[in-house]
Structure 1
Amino acid sequence: MATDPTLLEQEIMSDISERRDLMFRLKALSPRYHFSPQDEALFLNYSIPIVYSIWEGFIQTSFQIYIRELNELNLKISDICYPILIYHIESEFPQFKQYPKKDKQNNKVIFFDKFGQFYQCNALRISSKVNTESNVGFNVLNRILTDFNLETILTHPEPNYSLQDDLDKFLLKIRNDVAHGQNSIVVHREDLDRAIKLVNRLMDLVFERIKTGFINKSYLR
């Protein structure tokens, strides 16, 4: 049974290292290959969506690692804290958000049969469906942390700096504008540096919360 916190830490740290190496290589592309001004402008515009994809990929991977380690513990339903239990039920039983219509009786039977089996299981296999809403902004990030009963991240971790603005109004906004074909967007090299610095900081913050939650057993009721 893989319940050693160091195994969890090592795997997430390895993932962070790979993502940092990828961002370093991304940052070095233009200087290394001496892009023309036109090519550099094109590269910089599309570098921000790449950095965002690295960020969202980290959230998916790190929480899937965390869920896998929790499942290795063979926890009973009565052992698991309510936030994780609710997360699992809402992931596996979307009928709670959209109940089957009356004229679809068979759907109701399937739903209640599956729900009954859920409460009869000896050990709960927590769902690995991490809903990022394809936009891991500040509120979504803290919602995911709350789903797993982990400490949320402060909007203003230091005076005169808003982590929420840096994520939502900078990284996420540029990514969405570029993805939606906004040709007026101009990204500078300083913006790429800022995006990479932000993702590095966010990965550390999320990692610390997952590690602390696992060590302190915040997953228990």
Structure 2
Amino acid sequence: MKIRTVEELQNRLDDDFAWRRKELTNIYTNVSSSKPKQMNTNIRIGVVMLYAHWEGFIKNAAETYLIFVSSKKLTYNQLSNNFIALSLKAKLSVFQETNKNTLHTQLVDFLLGNLDIRAQVPTENVIKTQSNLNSNILKEILSIIGVSYDQFELKEKFIDTQLLNIRNSVAHGQNPDMDEIEFSELYTEITSLMNSIKTEIANNATLLNYKKVNIA
């Protein structure tokens, strides 16, 4: 699969977000219309689904952006530093793990003499949510794809406490201490975060942030 244009990237991000938001809206409506005896059960189901779509969307959006950048077929010296690091990850791992000077020299030779060849930007098995998409993992994922984390720092407590901790308690068979109003706030925040990340990825593509500065 290739994603060659910003428009194609935007469409894929929009489509993925749209069906997830529709399903989450249906779940929210189900919670808000619940009878008192069903409310707790529906909130528990809703929390699990909110987290599932949060994790699923972030993973898919990041991978979609990797496919977009890979489809550009850029050379190493055309890429921004984060994508150079990602493309050279396997070589850098060998460099770190070996004490052989010959291999160290080979990597240095490669870096000095082969940056004008096409980079192989990996797209599979790169984005790891570890089924525990907390703020630290989100920060690492955004760093991999070169998206600024700054605007999401204020949401760290929300992600780790109000979403992840409550989701984990439900997953372990506990009842969340959450009412309809709190669930509504959770729904609003999660869908807003997903939309913000979608927007940031699309903006990065439009502004050519995947390229080295001053590369046309």
- TM-score (norm: length of structure 2): 0.78
Could you tell me which of 164, 168, 188 is aligned with 2:179? Answer: 188
| Structure 2 counterpart of 1:165 | 157
- 1:41/1:186 contact within 8 Å kept: no
Deviation at 1:3, TM superposition (A): 3.1
* Distance (Å, rounded) in 2 between the aligned partners of 1:184 and 1:101: 52
SS of 2:9 mapped into structure 1: helix
Structure 1: runs of 5 or more not aligned: 103-108, 157-161
- 1:12/1:62 contact within 8 Å kept: yes
Question: Residues 1-221 of structure 1 correspond to what in structure 2 (within 5 A)?
Answer: 2-30=3-31, 35=35, 37=37, 39-90=38-89, 92=90, 95=93, 99=97, 122-128=118-124, 129-155=126-152, 162-181=154-173, 183-221=174-212
Instruction: Name the Cα RMSD after superposition.
Output: 3.1
Deviation at 1:83, TM superposition (A): 1.3
- 1:45/1:186 contact within 8 Å kept: no
Q: Give the counterpart letter for 2:8 in structure 1.
A: L
* Distance (Å, rounded) in 2 between the aligned partners of 1:192 and 1:67: 33
Q: Give the counterpart letter for 2:160 in structure 1.
A: D
Change (3 A) 1:217 1:58: same
The structure where helix makes up a greater share of residues is 2
Q: Give the counterpart letter for 2:86 in structure 1.
A: Y
Size of the aligned set, in residue pairs, is 200
Structure 2: runs of 5 or more not aligned: none
Deviation at 1:189, TM superposition (A): 1.6
SS of 2:150 mapped into structure 1: coil
Deviation at 1:80, TM superposition (A): 1.8
- 2:62/2:127 contact within 8 Å kept: yes
Deviations 1:80-120 (A, max 9, x none): 22212223444x56945983799xxxxxx9xx9xxx8xx79
Deviation at 1:11, TM superposition (A): 1.3
Deviations 1:8-34 (A, max 9, x none): 1111011111111010111222566x5
Of all paired residues, the percent bearing the same amino acid is 18
- 1:137/1:167 contact within 8 Å kept: yes
- TM-score (norm: length of structure 1): 0.76
Which shows bigger deviation, 128-137 or 47-56?
Answer: 128-137
Deviations 1:183-209 (A, max 9, x none): 253332223211211111111211121
Change (3 A) 1:49 1:2: closer
* Distance (Å, rounded) in 2 between the aligned partners of 1:28 and 1:67: 34
- 2:83/2:121 contact within 8 Å kept: no
